[in-house]
Each structure stands twice: as structure tokens, then as C-alpha cells.
Copies of this chain bind each other. A is one copy, B any other.
Amino acid sequence: MSQPVKSAAPDTASGRRAAAQRHRVRRDIATAAMRLFATQGYEATTVDEIAASAGVARRTFFRHFRSKEEAIFPDHDDTLVRVQEVLDSADPREPPLDTVCRGITEVLRMYAYMPEVSVERYRLTREVPTLREREIASVARYERLFTRYLLGHFDEGAQRDGDDDPLLAEVAASAVVAAHNHVLRRWLRAGGKGDVEAQLDHAFDVIKATLGTAIGPGRIPARAASAPSVSRQGEVVVAVARTDASPAEIMRSIEDALRRA
């Protein structure tokens, strides 16, 4: 799930064993690369050295990794398809934003699976611009998935002009990703200690409260709909309405909400 993978799925005994072998080599190369990067630095380590350290030929390295950079992020490709699977297999009744949150959680788990490696990699990405860009690009791929998913799961039923739907989908996706980034980086800076996933869940709560106005708990309504919306969020009550809505209508909505609160 990362390189040529010419044969689609040779699901025979031999095929499986060959795949396992292949996977082992890939892992060996990745660990060798990581070790060298950690000790010598990223740029100071050549592909030849990595290959030699892993006991393979230089050419073989590039058969397992598209580039030197990929050797340090070996799991993004797999994770990307896993995330897509999460989205594809989601219960249609689940709020799309929740689905997306479960998706990004999959990414976080990838990091949390090997804390030490992730922390070391974080150290490298901070000082090597190339790696920084690479990671940013990787995360952008997840975001793209989410944007498309949200856009495809807007409130199909409601009859409203969804001119701003794509915008809201993009904003929501970027918010989820931003939450992930924030929690992840904080955790990495702390040395990979603590329950990241719980922290991420809290971040989800925060952004859901933040986006709650426009992107409801269920489907996603495009703009603050023509009808004013009022929501109680924690200690605050928030009212949003179009200025062209009748003031009386707005006041009534808010009064109702306050009464319920």
C-alpha cells in the first residue's frame, strides 16, 4: 500500500508470505533510516548509507520508498486509506462532523502508537524544512478527504440555497485538522506522555461548540439560516441571525432559548 504493488492481491499462501517478507524489509529500512536520521541528522544522511545500514542496495530502497522523505513518514499512505475507510463505512445517521472527527482520530492513533518514534520525528521535522513541508502536505491530504466528505453529506433534505456549503465544509474540515494538529503537537512537545486521545476529544468538544452555530450537531446548515438560530453552549447563550430577519422574530427566538436554558 505504498509503492509499485503491481500485483493487485495475490491471495495465495505464497503470495501472503511474499507480502510479509516485503513488509519486513520495508520496516527494516525505515528503522535503519530513523536511526541514522536521529544520530547524524536528516540531510547529513544519504540514501546510500541507509541502504547499506539496512543491508540492501540503494535501488532497493527506492523500490520501497518513493523518496528519502517517505522513509521517515512510512505510515501516512496506509493511514490515509484507513481514514477513507472510516468515512466510507460510517453510519449515515452519524453526524458528519463526528465521522470526520473519528477519521482524524485514526491519524492521531498512528502517532500515538509509537510515542518515542513520533517524538524523535517531531524533533527532526522542526529543524528540517523539507520534512516540515512534507508533513504539512500529508495533513493537507486528510483535510481534503474531510472537506469532500462533509460537502457530500450536507443536509440533503432541507431546501435552502447552499451557496456557502463548500466554504463551510472547508472551514469545518480545517477546524478538525487544526484541533488535531494542536493536540498532537502539544503532546509531542510534552514528550509523548499522557492520554492524547482524551485531549483530542476535549478539543473536539471545543470546536463543536465553536462551530455549533453554523454546523449543527446533525447535518450542516449552510448559513445562519434565514430563521435565527439560538443555541446554549456551556455557560453562554449565542444567538445568530441575519440582519434582514425581522427584529421581532429574532427577539422571540432568543427569548425562547433563554427560557429553555
Which residue numbers of A lie inside 8 Å of B, CB to CB? 132-134, 136-137, 140, 164, 166-168, 170-171, 173-175, 177-179, 181-183, 186, 203, 206-207, 209-215, 223-224, 232-244, 247, 250-251, 254-255, 258-259, 261
When all copies of this chain in the complex are counted, the total is: 2
* Cα–Cα, bound, A247→B251 (Å): 11
In the complex with contacts A174-B175, A178-B171, A213-B212, A235-B239 CB distance below 8 A:
no
- Further pairs besides A209-B224, A223-B235, A236-B242: 8, Cβ < 8 Å: A167-B178, A170-B181, A209-B213, A213-B236, A223-B234, A236-B240, A238-B238, A238-B240
Q: List chain B residues, Cβ under 8 A from A174.
A: 174-175, 177-178
Q: List chain B residues, Cβ under 8 A from A243.
A: 232, 235-237, 258, 261
* Cα–Cα, bound, A171→B210 (Å): 9
* Cα–Cα, bound, A105→B168 (Å): 19
Q: List chain B residues, Cβ under 8 A from A164.
A: 203, 206
Contact A258 B250 (CB under 8 A): yes
